[in-house]
């Protein structure tokens, strides 16, 4: 168990580090591209990518999860997965490209046709990804996967920005996507050599596990993509661009901190097998850490959204400010149940995931439709926030059923984080000033708010921890990590001095 814990920790560090770098690159790319392109450019590409995402989800096979679940997959398992993914990619790519003229006519957008054809190429490329990359996760060795993600993100950013500087067109977004994808595929075969062959021998075995996961993925994609189609169809490409960029930025601070753990916890939880008590202890420990980091980070980003957008994106993007603010607070709540997916996957509860996603869709869709009909984009955001609150309750109830931790117990476990975040909000609001017009003033306001928020949250967290009697939790783990880091640095410094002395 200790060895597994160490592997999970190292894997989380690698993936978290990679995600931080990739997200920093993505944020940089978004900021630079927002200065070079128009909201309508982002909206045009977002409309096409949302269509493709729904189509891909409708044919999702979820073979990677099946390969993780199979204890000792053979070469033919990987060949079967590669063959199925290849066929799916070719069908989606050609079908999507063939529908380009119809979709362009439907949306009265001539530019949309060529974008859809280009994304059809992307879909076809996705079918030849190396399926053996999943071995990195299966063996809890995540650094290769992390490196691959960073390199692909770097290529995407460089090509996107370079193309935007030359073209000043939405094609920069497509060029970056295709370049990053192509590099990722090539590196996948270099890092994990594999010569695929056309096989379907293990189709039934793979499908037996992945069927419910695939159906669940379809529902989940509809759940989180149909609003983009609604905005693009009824509110226009400019609003869709604001909605896309605002959502892309809002998701980074909190939710992107959680995703690395989702990648590491599924295979790690799977090793616990049917030991519910072991899963319960692991879930409690990780979930408290996730909430202590992701929740205040998301809330904090919402608090600094105004000076950030004015400083980083410019006046063309002021409409994204309320979008970032509301979505950041919504994503902050999501952290409370964000680890239910790897938990359910580890217990083989794929049907439960499907039912959970279906229930969320049944709640989210009418709320967003009613909100948009009543108040346009603002109403849509309000509907999404209400649906997010209900969705958290659904996730926490599912955790209670899976491992026996009641919803109230889950809330009590994070009470210190809630109190410290409330203190942070009060402190940041108290120092808030109307956004200055000049760059220096905006930068000072942003820096001051971030500093006040960070200091107030850490101070309040430590105070609550002291009052509670210093129980085990994210605070004690952070202190232990700090001590170990100091010892490590001191030991290396000592050895360096000894070598210099000799």
Q: What is the pLDDT of residues 197-227, one digit of tens each?
A: 887 776 666 666 555 666 667 777 777 788 8
Please state, in angstroms and as integers, the Cα–Cα distance from residue 376 to each residue in 27, 231, 265, 331, 463, following that order. 27, 9, 39, 21, 43
**d(C-alpha 121, C-alpha 92), whole Å:** 9
What b/e string do you get for 372-403 counting C-beta neighbours within 10 Å, with b at 16 or more? Answer: beeeebebbbbbbbbbbeebbebbbbbbeebb
393 vs 403, more confident: 393
Neighbours of 105 (CB within 10 A): 12
Provide the pLDDT confidence category of residue 293 given band limits of 50, 70 and 90. confident
3-state class (DSSP) for residue 272: coil
DSSP secondary-structure letter at 231? Answer: I
Q: Is residue 109 part of a domain?
A: no
Q: Which of 28-42, 109-123, 391-405 has the lowest mean pLDDT?
A: 28-42
Question: Do residues 337 and 394 touch, judged by C-beta distance below 8 A?
Answer: yes
Mean pLDDT of 286-301: 88
pLDDT at residue number 4: 46
pLDDT at residue number 103: 92
Mean pLDDT of 419-443: 85
In order, the DSSP letters of 420-450 are: HHHHHHHHHHHT--PPPSSHHHHHHHHHHHH
pLDDT at residue number 1: 45
User: pLDDT tens, 184-194?
Assistant: 888 888 877 77
**d(C-alpha 177, C-alpha 441), whole Å:** 35
Question: Do residues 58 and 92 touch, judged by C-beta distance below 8 A?
Answer: no
Average pLDDT of the chain to the nearest whole number: 82
In order, the DSSP letters of 7-66 are: HHHHHHHHHHHHHHHHHHHHHHHHHHHHHHS-HHHHHHHHHHHHHHHHHHHHT---HHHH
User: pLDDT tens, 457-498?
Assistant: 999 999 999 998 888 878 887 777 777 777 777 777 877 777
Provide the pLDDT confidence category of residue 3 given band limits of 50, 70 and 90. very low
For the chain, the domain total comes to: 1
User: pLDDT tens, 72-91?
Assistant: 677 777 778 778 888 888 99
**d(C-alpha 121, C-alpha 55), whole Å:** 14
Q: Which of 86-90, 351-355, 444-448 has the lowest mean pLDDT?
A: 351-355
Mean pLDDT of 6-18: 55
Percent of the chain scored above 70 by pLDDT?
80
Q: Is residue 274 part of a domain?
A: yes
pLDDT at residue number 25: 78
**d(C-alpha 212, C-alpha 69), whole Å:** 14
Q: Is residue 82 part of a domain?
A: no
**d(C-alpha 279, C-alpha 343), whole Å:** 8
Question: Do residues 217 and 62 touch, judged by C-beta distance below 8 A?
Answer: yes
Percent of the chain scored above 90 by pLDDT?
32
**d(C-alpha 14, C-alpha 18), whole Å:** 6
Q: Is residue 498 part of a domain?
A: no
Q: Is residue 331 part of a domain?
A: yes
Question: Do residues 238 and 318 touch, judged by C-beta distance below 8 A?
Answer: no
DSSP secondary-structure letter at 170? Answer: T
165 vs 193, more confident: 165
Q: Is the pLDDT of residue 71 over 60?
A: yes
221 vs 172, more confident: 172
Q: How do the residues of the chain divide into helix, strand and coil, expressed in percent and rounded to 5?
A: 85, 0, 15
**d(C-alpha 398, C-alpha 353), whole Å:** 9
Question: Do residues 465 and 473 touch, judged by C-beta distance below 8 A?
Answer: yes
Question: Do residues 209 and 69 touch, judged by C-beta distance below 8 A?
Answer: yes
Q: Is residue 135 part of a domain?
A: no
**d(C-alpha 224, C-alpha 54), whole Å:** 10
Q: Which of 281-295, 371-385, 444-458 has the lowest mean pLDDT?
A: 281-295
pLDDT at residue number 172: 93
Residues 6+ positions from 465 with CB-CB distance below 8 Å: 416, 471, 473, 475, 476
* Verdict on whether the full-model pTM lies above 0.85: no
Q: Is the pLDDT of residue 162 over 90?
A: yes
Q: Is residue 49 part of a domain?
A: no
Please state, in angstroms and as integers, the Cα–Cα distance from residue 179 to each residue in 32, 118, 425, following that order. 18, 12, 41
Nearest-Å Rg of the Cα atoms of the chain is 23
User: pLDDT tens, 36-49?
Assistant: 888 889 999 999 98
Mean pLDDT of 100-114: 91
pLDDT at residue number 2: 43
Mean pLDDT of 89-115: 91
Full residue range of the structural domain in which residue 360 is found: 236-428
Q: Is the pLDDT of residue 13 over 70?
A: no
User: pLDDT tens, 302-347?
Assistant: 999 999 999 888 888 999 999 999 999 998 888 888 788 878 877 7
Q: Is residue 482 part of a domain?
A: no
pLDDT at residue number 436: 60
> 172-180 long-range contacts, Cβ below 8 Å, gap at least 24?
172/33, 172/36, 172/37, 173/33, 173/37, 173/41, 173/42, 173/45, 174/45, 174/115, 174/118, 174/119, 176/29, 177/119, 177/122, 178/118, 178/121, 178/122, 178/125, 179/155, 180/152, 180/153, 180/155, 180/156
Mean pLDDT of 275-297: 83
């Amino acid at each position: 168990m200790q060895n597994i814990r160490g592997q999970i920790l190292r894997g989380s560090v690698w993936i978290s580090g990679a995600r931080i770098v990739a997200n920093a690159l993505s944020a940089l790319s978004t900021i630079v591209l927002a200065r070079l392109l128009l909201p309508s450019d982002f909206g045009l590409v977002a409309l096409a990518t949302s269509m493709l995402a729904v189509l891909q989800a409708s044919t999702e096979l979820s073979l990677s999860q099946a390969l993780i679940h199979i204890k000792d997959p053979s070469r033919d398992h990987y060949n079967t997965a590669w063959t199925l993914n290849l066929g799916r990619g070719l069908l989606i790519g050609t079908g999507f490209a063939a529908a380009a003229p119809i979709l362009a006519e439907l949306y009265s957008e001539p530019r949309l046709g060529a974008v859809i054809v280009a994304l059809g190429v992307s879909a076809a490329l996705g079918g030849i990804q190396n399926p053996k990359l999943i071995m990195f996760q299966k063996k809890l060795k995540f650094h290769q996967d992390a490196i691959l993600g960073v390199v692909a993100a770097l290529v995407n950013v460089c090509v996107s920005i370079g193309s935007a500087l030359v073209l000043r067109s939405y094609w920069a977004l497509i060029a970056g996507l295709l370049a990053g994808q192509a590099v990722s595929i090539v590196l996948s075969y270099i890092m994990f050599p594999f010569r695929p062959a056309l096989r379907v021998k293990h189709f039934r075995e793979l499908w037996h596990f992945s069927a419910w996961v695939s159906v669940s993925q379809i529902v989940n994609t509809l759940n989180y993509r149909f609003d983009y189609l609604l905005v693009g169809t009824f509110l226009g490409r400019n609003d869709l661009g604001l909605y896309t960029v605002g959502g892309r930025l809002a998701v980074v601070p909190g939710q992107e901190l959680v995703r690395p753990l989702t990648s590491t916890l599924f295979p790690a939880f799977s090793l616990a097998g049917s030991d519910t008590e072991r899963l319960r202890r692991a879930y409690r420990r990780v979930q408290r850490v996730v909430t202590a980091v992701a929740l205040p980070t998301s809330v904090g980003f919402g608090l600094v959204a105004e000076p950030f957008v004015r400083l980083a994106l410019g006046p063309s993007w002021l409409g994204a400010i309320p979008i970032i603010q509301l979505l950041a607070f919504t994503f902050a709540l999501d952290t409370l149940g964000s680890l239910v997916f790897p938990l359910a996957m580890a217990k083989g509860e794929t049907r439960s995931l499907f039912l959970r996603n279906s229930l969320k869709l049944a709640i989210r869709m009418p709320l967003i439709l009613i909100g948009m009909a009543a108040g346009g984009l603002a109403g849509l955001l309000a509907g999404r926030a209400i649906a997010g609150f209900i969705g958290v309750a659904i996730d926490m109830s599912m955790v209670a059923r899976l491992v026996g931790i009641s919803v109230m117990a889950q809330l009590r476990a994070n009470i210190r984080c809630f109190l410290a975040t409330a203190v942070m909000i009060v402190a940041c609001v108290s120092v808030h000033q109307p956004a200055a017009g000049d760059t220096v003033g905006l930068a000072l306001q942003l820096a001051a708010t971030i500093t006040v928020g960070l200091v107030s949250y850490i101070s309040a967290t430590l105070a609550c921890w002291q009052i509670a009697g210093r129980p085990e939790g994210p605070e004690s783990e952070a202190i232990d990590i700090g001590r170990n880091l100091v010892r490590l640095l001191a030991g290396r410094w000592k050895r360096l001095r000894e070598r210099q002395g000799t």
